[in-house]
């Protein structure tokens, strides 16, 4: 992988906490943990904006580390701004998107399918809403366990690749 080819993967885990507030009324809060898979950095959050901020920071760090040194400061700034455009768009729309997804997840799947089909007809055939069913808690736990194992394997592989890169660069 060249210095300009960067990959960033993130794992989001959400936990719903139901509790009694100060007045004794039942209340609910979603809490989460986001992990940057390649670096294994983690952040706990209770506001989605904090998870998005974490992602933005990681991606901007990757972009900065990938920018060629021979570019002018103005070109570097332009590349960084362009790489963050998706987050500017997301910041404007995510509160409504999250609220709608919580209210009606199936409707959101349909909306995503419509967006995909308008862009690429072939991809829309991959989503089969007829067979849509909510994921069970045991399935989620199993997936989380498998993702954790994969994360560990990726970290070990990354260390090996780094060692090989160091040996090659010393040669």
What pLDDT, in 10s, does the model give residues 62-96? 877 777 777 777 877 777 777 777 666 766 676 67
Mark whether 20 and 54 lie in a shared domain: yes
Distance CA 34, CA 29 (A): 16
Q: Taking a C-beta distance cutoff of 8 angstroms, is the pair 30, 15 a contact?
A: yes
Mark whether 43 and 86 lie in a shared domain: yes
Mark whether 82 and 140 lie in a shared domain: no
- Give the torsion sign (CA, 115, 108, 148, 37): positive
Mark whether 117 and 151 lie in a shared domain: no
**How many domains does the chain fold into?**
3
Q: Could you say which of 103, 122, 153 is where a domain stops?
A: 103
Mark whether 98 and 122 lie in a shared domain: no
Mark whether 92 and 19 lie in a shared domain: yes
Mark whether 99 and 109 lie in a shared domain: no
Q: Tens digit of pLDDT for each residue in 121-159?
A: 554 455 454 555 666 778 778 878 888 888 888 888 888
Mark whether 121 and 163 lie in a shared domain: no
Reduce the secondary structure of 23-54 to three states and give it as a string: CCCEEEEEEEEEEECCCCEEEEECCHHHHHHH
Mark whether 80 and 128 lie in a shared domain: no
The two tokens of residue 79 are: 């590349």
Boundaries of domain holding 116: 104-133
Q: What is the pTM of this model?
A: 0.47
- DSSP 3-state assignment of 10? strand
């Amino acid at each position: 992988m060249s210095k300009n080819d960067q990959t960033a993967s993130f794992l989001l885990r959400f936990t719903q906490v139901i509790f009694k507030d100060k007045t004794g009324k039942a209340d609910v809060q979603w809490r989460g943990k986001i992990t940057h898979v390649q670096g294994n950095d983690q952040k706990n959050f209770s506001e989605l904006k904090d998870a998005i901020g974490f992602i933005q920071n990681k991606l901007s760090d990757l972009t900065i580390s990938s920018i060629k040194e021979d570019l002018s400061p103005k070109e570097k700034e332009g590349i960084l701004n362009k790489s963050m455009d998706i987050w500017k768009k997301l910041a404007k729309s995510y509160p409504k998107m999250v609220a709608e997804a919580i209210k009606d997840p199936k409707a959101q799947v349909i909306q995503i399918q419509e967006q995909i089909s308008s862009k690429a007809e072939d991809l829309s055939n991959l989503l089969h809403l007829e067979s849509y069913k909510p994921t069970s808690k045991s399935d989620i736990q199993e997936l989380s366990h498998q993702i954790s194992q994969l994360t560990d394997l990726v970290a070990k592989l990354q260390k090996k690749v780094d060692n090989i890169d160091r040996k090659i660069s010393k040669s």
